[in-house]
Amino acid sequence: MLPHLSAAYNLARWLTRNDHDAEDVVQEAYLRAFRFFGGYRGGESRAWLLSIVRHTCYTWLQRNRTHELTEFDEETHALEADTPTPEAALLQRADQQLLRRALEELPVEFREVLILRELEGLSYKEVAEVAGVPIGTVMSRLARARLRLQQALTVCPKKGD
Amino acid sequence: MQRLLHGYLDGELDLVSSLEVERHLQSCQACSQAHETQQALRSAIRNSELSFEPSADFRRRVRSAVRAESRAESGNRVWPWRGLFAAASVVALMIVSLAILPALFRPAADDSLAREVVSSHVRSLMADHLTDVLSTDQHTVKPWFNGRLDFSPQVIDLSGKGYSLIGGRLDYLGNRTVAAVIYQRRQHFINLFIWPSSEPAADEKSLSRQGYNVIHWTASGMTWWAVSDLNGGELHEFASAVRTQALSVRLANQYRERERRSRY
């Protein structure tokens, strides 16, 4: 019954990749939301709350898992010009476990835009607000994130063959 | 193009760019294949259950942590400067969601009042005397009540939620003069009666009488009754919006008052 708790927990769980840590982060974020309201601009309260959750997650990651936050460089994650032959059929069959693992293995900046867009259904504008980046960046990160995911899914199963 | 393709996929492009992408997809084999693949990926994601749900136990824990925090907050009487509206909206949201728990019983007195409320509503429509002051502007309606009542009712603007303000009227209910604020949703009118009450705050209670839906609650020293032929769900939505707004306005006023006092 707390506002947006499901969305907040889902985001935190995907960013920390752990139940307990997600719970700690979300609780802290909700308390923070009460204590420091500085950034609130009267917009969509879900985006506002999620931006606090995200911020709390990043602070937590910085403290506990610095290696996951290796300097994010748009260049090194540049879009590959030639994507491998797409295999729509294979993707359609991609099972849940595989999908979950592939998502978890994405760098956190990619993971978060996918979660916000695909699981929470946020608009680009809202994603931009939560992640604190311009809308153009949201679009390119989503493009890269989806390509990485596609590659992970179409390559992985073959290894097992 | 790859970038635009995703904007297109998400329905986030303006019309011109989206037509451009569509045209391009028809002529470019590689892009149309990429588009198809991405659509497949998307539906794979949507069809899987990838979201994590917080446990009931955790929900409870956060709720009580936040509650303890807000108690401490109001105990200190220190309000964060700019965040007042956030506080108001979060608190209001929680109060509204708690209000969904229907108040169980409060019989008798309420019942005759409910009948009066409905009669008053019907009369206001039949006698073609819906409003004494006809205005869609809350800043016109609110001052109109001053001097006509021994209290100052909140007149809330809900036009953003699809309930337009029609005006105000004096009415007589429960042996006293009350404020009636009138709203309209499509062809339906809503009478919102407000008057001071010494009763403790009470959650929403809904009932229906003679085909009219009635919701009433008590908050911030006022009793509120909303009545309409609008369906129960929408009237409930209306009531929640009123409560949320009223609380935000009240908190904002308190804040302003405190700020004024600290200045002098």
Return mean pLDDT, chain B: 83
pLDDT digits (tens, 9 = 90+) for A55-76: 999 999 988 887 777 655 554 4
My answer on whether B151 and B245 are in the same domain is yes
Q: Provide the 3-class DSSP secondary structure of residue B126.
A: helix
pLDDT digits (tens, 9 = 90+) for B192-208: 999 998 888 888 898 88
Mean pLDDT of A45-53: 85
- pLDDT of A68: 73
Return mean pLDDT, chain A: 79
What CATH number is given to the structural domain containing B129?
A: 3.30.200.100
- Closest chain B residue to A94, measured at CA: B44
Report how far residue B147's alpha carbon sits from residue A74's, in angstroms, rounded to the nearest whole number.
65
Q: Which residues of B touch A21 (CB under 8 A)?
A: none
Residue A37 has pLDDT above 60, yes or no: no
User: Residues A147, A58, A73, B10: is their CA dihedral positive or negative?
Assistant: positive
CA A60 to chain B, closest CA, distance in angstroms equals: 18
Report how far residue B190's alpha carbon sits from residue B228's, in angstroms, rounded to the nearest whole number.
5
pLDDT digits (tens, 9 = 90+) for A121-159: 999 999 999 999 999 999 999 999 999 998 888 775 444
Residue B173 neighbours by CB distance under 10 Å: 17
E strands present in B78-221: 133-134, 164-173, 176-185, 188-196, 202-209, 212-219
My answer on whether B172 and B225 are in the same domain is yes
The answer to whether residue A9 neighbours chain B at the CB level (below 8 Å) is yes
pLDDT digits (tens, 9 = 90+) for B88-100: 777 777 776 666 5
pLDDT band at A92 (very low <50, low <70, confident <90, very high): low
In this structure, of B20-24, B133-137, B223-227, B239-243, the range with the lowest mean pLDDT score is B133-137
- pLDDT of A11: 96
Dig out the tokens for A137 from the structure. 């960046």
Could you tell me if residue B114 is inside a domain?
A: yes
Could you tell me if residue B87 is inside a domain?
A: no
Could you tell me if residue B62 is inside a domain?
A: yes
Q: Which residues of B touch A31 (CB under 8 A)?
A: 65-66, 69
Report how far residue B220's alpha carbon sits from residue B84's, in angstroms, rounded to the nearest whole number.
18
> Which among B76, B97, B123 is the end of a domain?
B76
Among B49, B58, B59, the residue with its CB nearest the CB of A96 is: B49
- Closest chain A residue to B90, measured at CA: A3
Among B6, B34, B83, the residue with its CB nearest the CB of A37 is: B83
Q: Provide the 3-class DSSP secondary structure of residue B242.
A: helix
Residue B118 has pLDDT above 80, yes or no: yes
How many domains does chain B divide into? 2
Dig out the tokens for A127 from the structure. 């994603």
Q: DSSP of B52-79, one letter per residue?
A: ----HHHHHHHHHHHHHHHHHHHHHT--
CB pairs under 8 A between A and B: 149
My answer on whether B228 and B163 are in the same domain is yes
Instruction: Please report, to the nearest 10 degrees, the dihedral formed by the alpha carbons of residues A70, A74, A76, A81 taken in order.
Output: 150
DSSP state of B207: E
My answer on whether B66 and B139 are in the same domain is no
The answer to whether residue A56 neighbours chain B at the CB level (below 8 Å) is no
Q: Which residues of B touch A51 (CB under 8 A)?
A: none
Q: Greater confidence, A161 or B255?
A: B255
Domains of chain A by range and CATH?
1-69 (1.10.1740), 74-161 (1.10.10.10)
My answer on whether B135 and B232 are in the same domain is yes
CA B13 to chain A, closest CA, distance in angstroms equals: 10
My answer on whether B121 and B174 are in the same domain is yes
Question: B232-263 and B84-99 are packed helices; what angle lies between their axes, rounded to 10 degrees?
Answer: 150
Mean pLDDT of B103-120: 71
Could you tell me if residue B93 is inside a domain?
A: no
Report how far residue B193's alpha carbon sits from residue A40's, in angstroms, rounded to the nearest whole number.
33
My answer on whether B71 and B116 are in the same domain is no
Sheet of B164-173: strand order equals B133-134, B164-173, B176-185, B188-196, B222-228, B212-219, B202-209
8 A C-beta contact, residue B50 and residue A119: yes
In this structure, of A144-153, B49-58, B139-148, the range with the lowest mean pLDDT score is B139-148
My answer on whether B72 and B131 are in the same domain is no
- Closest chain A residue to B5, measured at CA: A143
Could you tell me if residue B94 is inside a domain?
A: no
Mean pLDDT of B241-251: 85
My answer on whether B67 and B111 are in the same domain is no
Question: Are residues B43 and A92, on separate chains, in Cβ contact within 8 Å?
Answer: yes
Residue A7 has pLDDT above 70, yes or no: yes
My answer on whether B179 and B252 are in the same domain is yes
Could you tell me if residue B89 is inside a domain?
A: no
Question: Are residues B37 and A86, on separate chains, in Cβ contact within 8 Å?
Answer: yes
Residue B46 has pLDDT above 80, yes or no: yes
pLDDT band at B217 (very low <50, low <70, confident <90, very high): very high
Q: Greater confidence, B65 or A82?
A: B65
Residue B50 has pLDDT above 60, yes or no: yes
Could you tell me if residue B35 is inside a domain?
A: yes
Give the containing element (helix H, strand E) for B228.
strand B222-228
**Domain region containing B206:** 105-263
CA A133 to chain B, closest CA, distance in angstroms equals: 16
Report how far residue B230's alpha carbon sits from residue B149's, in angstroms, rounded to the nearest whole number.
28
Could you tell me if residue B92 is inside a domain?
A: no
pLDDT digits (tens, 9 = 90+) for B164-194: 998 999 988 888 889 999 999 988 899 999 9
Single pTM value for the model: 0.52
- Burial class of A147 by CB neighbour count within 10 A (0 to 12, 13 to 18, 19+): buried
8 A C-beta contact, residue A96 and residue B51: no
Q: Which of these, A69, A67, A52, lies nearest to A4 by C-alpha position?
A: A52
Q: Which of these, A4, A16, A14, A15, lies nearest to A122 by C-alpha position?
A: A4
Residues 191-220 of B with CB under 8 A from A: none
pLDDT band at A87 (very low <50, low <70, confident <90, very high): low
Residue A42 neighbours by CB distance under 10 Å: 9
Question: Are residues B6 and A142, on separate chains, in Cβ contact within 8 Å?
Answer: yes
Best residue in A10, A21, A34, A96 to probe B by mutation, most B CBs within 10 Å? A34
In this structure, of B56-60, B110-114, B192-196, the range with the lowest mean pLDDT score is B110-114
Q: Which residues of A touch B58 (CB under 8 A)?
A: 9, 23, 26
Q: What share of chain A is helix, strand, coil (3-state, %, to 5)?
A: 70, 0, 30
Question: Are residues A31 and B65, on separate chains, in Cβ contact within 8 Å?
Answer: yes
